[in-house]
Amino acid sequence: MQYDEIKVLDVDEALVDSLWGKIKDTGSFYSIGDGATKDVFRAALYKSSYVLEISGAIIRLEVGDFLVELHPIVFGPSLYEVAPKMLKEIYERFGSSFRKKSICCIIPQGMRAAKRLAVRAGMREFGPVTRLLSGVPLPCVMYGWRP
């Protein structure tokens, strides 16, 4: 993967509408998190530090005080092919915003494919956490990566 394959997206209503059309009927853990309603989804996109388009996926980055949380929306298997390089590329290109912070994904227990993707990308399991998704406590696992 080359740097020019990572595209930074501007969040606007056209992007919200386009992505909402793809995820609104997913009926998975995503739909009780960022995709609970279109308004929740819109707010999640707008509060993101970065929204990136990478090889069949949209990845929201939220840069926090101690962690950089990745929120991928995967549209097919192509992300698995580039996952090992993806985190390094993101760090090299955007890391000035979050040097010395771990990059993590918080994945609900039942999302086996997302866990495989995290491991494929080079993340390791940090341990269990509980995440409130639309007010529902959901057991999750945190996966993380540091350069």
Which among 94, 61, 80 has a CA at the least distance from the CA of 122? Answer: 80
Q: Highest mean pLDDT: which of 8-17, 49-58, 65-74, 77-86?
A: 8-17
Q: Please state the pTM of the whole predicted model.
A: 0.85
Q: Highest mean pLDDT: which of 30-34, 96-100, 104-108?
A: 104-108
Which among 7, 53, 62 has a CA at the least distance from the CA of 33? Answer: 62
Q: 11 with 58: CB under 8 angstroms?
A: no
**What ranges do the domains of the chain cover?**
3-145
Give the fold, CATH level 3, of 3-145: Aminopeptidase (3.40.630)
Please give the Cα distance from 24 to 33 (Å, whole number): 12
A 10 A CB-CB count for 43 gives 13
